[in-house]
Amino acid sequence: MQQYLESLNLRKILLIGLFFRVLSIIFSKGYAFTDDHYEVVVLAQNLLDKVDSPFTQDFLVNGEAYLFSLIYPYIHYLIFGICEWFGTTNPETKMLLARIVNSLFSLLSIYYGYKLTERLSNHKNDAKIVGLLLAVFWVFPFMSVRNLREFVCIPPLLMGCYYAVNQKLNNKSVLLSAFWFVIAFVFRYQIVFIPFTVGLTWLLSKTNWQKAILFGFGCIGFYLLTQGVFDYIYWGNPIASIKAYFTFNADAKNIEIYPNGPWHRYIGTMAGLSLGLSSLLFFAGYFKTATQAGNRRMLFLASLFFFAFHSYYPNKQERFILPFIPFFLILGVIGFRDIYESLQNKTWFRTTTKVLVYWFIVLNTILLCILSVTYTKRSRVESMNYFREKGDLQNFVIQNFQASQPVAIFYLDKRLDYYDIDSPEKLAALPNELKSGKKVYPNYLIIVGSADLEARLAMMKKIFPKLQYDTNIEPSFIDNIAYVLNPSHNHNETWFIYKIVR
């Protein structure tokens, strides 16, 4: 192990990270969550197509402002615009380019995580371990090709921290730190707790309080020049989206519609992400830095503040904690190094550490190889790809009584007002809806999931007597596992497609 670390350098670590990200670029299609598709990809295409109402109406707070920043969707707007400028409207080509851009951007987290660790630690191998972890931590290549605000904010967040811990803290470092923290903020608002804690630490310092004032004004200025400009152009108020975000997320009715959980939920999430037993090493190292002075403690408090807020806030979704993971890994490695040096003369400690390290390496490697090539939400995406490539789709009916399935219309490459039958009441109203002629008459039926398939098919045959089986689209292996583990929130089922013959 020591010999391998000695052979590594930053360039090699970046190449390792690039290798797994290329695998994800090629094989890890689809999307992971609702927001990374509908609130980024679909929104960008809506803006490009100049549709009358490009925003998800539930997120247009009081009809006044959209609650997310438009900067990240507009990056995809540019990506898709470039594709169309070169004459391709193929959604798969657009998403391939988006995966390339997002994954290459994520390499900055490896670079700056490595450089940040060099500034925090006196041991040269700590930076190599951290760089390697950021390159091949089992969820990172997969997440790098998702269009996820919680992940894309990580590179600028680490860049802001890198400049903030400069041993020779000068005005340039302070302003660069402010700039990159603002970029991270406009991608993901909740990271505000990290730069806030950094600024507060400086303000309470006898030597850096003036830097804190410069940092505060720098953050305000850079915000007004970035997010403020977008908000003013769109909504007539430079803080419109922040106000809308706070209003939406402070409403108990909105909180209730999302997964809620106890305050300790994310402790279990971090233990699971760091692979169970091996999480003991990271937790021990992370909390060790709380006892240390200077920049280590500052970043510990900053990241802990972020973690504590999400633990307090009722809405609990695993992706919310993604920006915390690099801090957990960086401080965990640095802190555990100090613990190890003080206890390495004890045989039981050396043996336990060795076992837990190998436990992590083996499990991480297995999961990394699986997840890096995983196609998520496959049935939703491939069903639309199937229709697009077949070329004869006029309209379709989708029937699912278990849960309303978002349809990935983006991959169809045309807009349809389809028939969504997610309740017996809507099924009963379907014949009249068909007769009204308000929508194009369908020539395909999709039945989602195999539960009571024959009975549901019989219901549909009463309306469409001449149904012909066409094909079925299977979810991916990981989609199936996610559904088994949490069927109430991971609706990844087989989609059965039938031809409607009149």
Q: For a pLDDT cut of 70, what percent of the chain falls above it?
A: 97
Mean pLDDT of all residues belonging to the chain: 93
Angle between helices 209-225 and 193-203 (to 10 degrees): 150
Flag the least confident range among 63-67, 172-176, 220-224, 319-323.
63-67
Spatial distance between the Cα atoms of 184 and 71, rounded to a whole number of angstroms: 11
Length of the chain: 502
Phi and psi at residue 449, to the nearest 5°: 85, 155
- SS3 assignment, position 460: helix
In this structure, are residues 59 and 66 in contact, taking their beta carbons and an 8 Å threshold?
yes
Structure tokens at 356: 């837990």
At residue 479 the predicted structure's pLDDT band, cuts being 50, 70 and 90, is confident
Q: What is the distance of C-alpha 374 from the center of its chain?
A: 15
Instruction: Compute φ and ψ for 328, nearest 5 degrees.
Output: -60, -40
The pLDDT confidence band at residue 33, using thresholds 50, 70 and 90, is confident
User: What mean pLDDT comes out for the span 490-497?
Assistant: 80
Report yes or no: 448 and 495 within 8 Å, Cβ to Cβ.
yes
Q: What is the mean pLDDT of residues 178-186?
A: 98
pLDDT digit string, tens, across residues 397-424: 999 877 666 799 999 999 999 999 988 8
> Residues 114-140, buried b or exposed e (16+ Cβ, 10 A)?
bbbbbebbeeebbbbbbbbbbbbbbbb
Is residue 492 over pLDDT 70? no
Average pLDDT over every residue of 20-39: 94
Q: Say if residues 408 and 384 touch (Cβ distance below 8 Å).
A: yes
Q: How many CA atoms lie within 13 A of 494 on its CB side?
A: 9
pLDDT of residue 403: 66
Task: Tell me if 82 sits within 8 A of 44, measured CB to CB.
Answer: no
Cα–Cα distance between 501 and 26 in angstroms, integer? 37
Burial 394-422 (b: 16+ CB within 10 A, else e): eebbbbbbeeebebbbbbbbeebebbbbb
Mean pLDDT of 92-118: 98
